[in-house]
């Protein structure tokens, strides 16, 4: 939520760090469990990373409003079914809908999605971004996790270790990120 809306008395939702690391034929998406409203931790153990698609062939993590994220998970799953599991095609179609649909364009969330070949960041602006270097991060602690992962990348071959350590760094620095991490691996 932007500062202008927050300054008009609306509750400002913060939170979440999601990181994706793709390296050596493995892909990991990790996310913390904290849900905050203002300066209050509402829930410490939310599950913001999950498997979707046929046989759990896609992993996805979200940052943003929970109800909005569930809507996007469901929509992406339908797009995956329509496009026979082709993540890039499904993501582009979801991004088109997200940008143009009157209801969807009001959703406040970001997503990192990945299958065995591709990792993408999806935004409500219609962006479908493939991160350079196989590392992507979103959410309030995303920049901390991204910096930590990029620093670790040349020294660590295991993408799970990179993601877990990056999440640990984000949790130590960002007040809207905790150390209750969910990790999914392809």
In angstroms, the CA 131 to CA 145 distance is 14
> Of 16, 17, 177, 182, which one is the catalytic site residue?
16
Coil, strand or helix: which one is 151?
helix
Please give the structure tokens belonging to residue 122: 């999806």
Q: Is 66 a catalytic residue?
A: no
d(CA 40, CA 28): 29
Q: Which residues pair with 123 in a beta bridge?
A: 110
Instruction: Report the chain's C-alpha Rg in angstroms.
Output: 16
Catalytic residues, by residue number, are: 16
């Amino acid at each position: 939520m932007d500062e202008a809306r927050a300054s008009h008395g609306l509750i400002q939702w913060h939170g979440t760090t999601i990181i994706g690391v793709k390296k050596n034929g493995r892909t990991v998406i990790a996310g913390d469990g904290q849900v905050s409203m203002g300066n209050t931790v509402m829930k410490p153990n939310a599950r913001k990373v999950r498997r979707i698609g046929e046989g759990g062939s896609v992993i996805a993590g979200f940052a943003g409003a929970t109800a909005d994220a569930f809507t996007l998970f469901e929509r992406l799953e339908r797009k995956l079914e329509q496009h026979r599991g082709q993540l890039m095609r499904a993501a582009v179609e979801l991004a088109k809908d997200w940008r143009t649909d009157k209801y969807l364009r009001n959703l406040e969330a970001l997503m990192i999605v990945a299958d065995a070949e591709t990792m993408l960041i999806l935004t409500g602006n219609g962006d479908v971004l493939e991160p350079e270097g196989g590392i992507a991060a979103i959410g309030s602690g995303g920049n901390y996790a991204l910096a930590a992962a990029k620093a670790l990348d040349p020294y660590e071959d295991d993408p799970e270790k990179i993601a877990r350590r990056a999440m640990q760094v984000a949790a130590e620095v960002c007040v809207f990120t905790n150390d209750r991490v969910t990790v999914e691996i392809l």
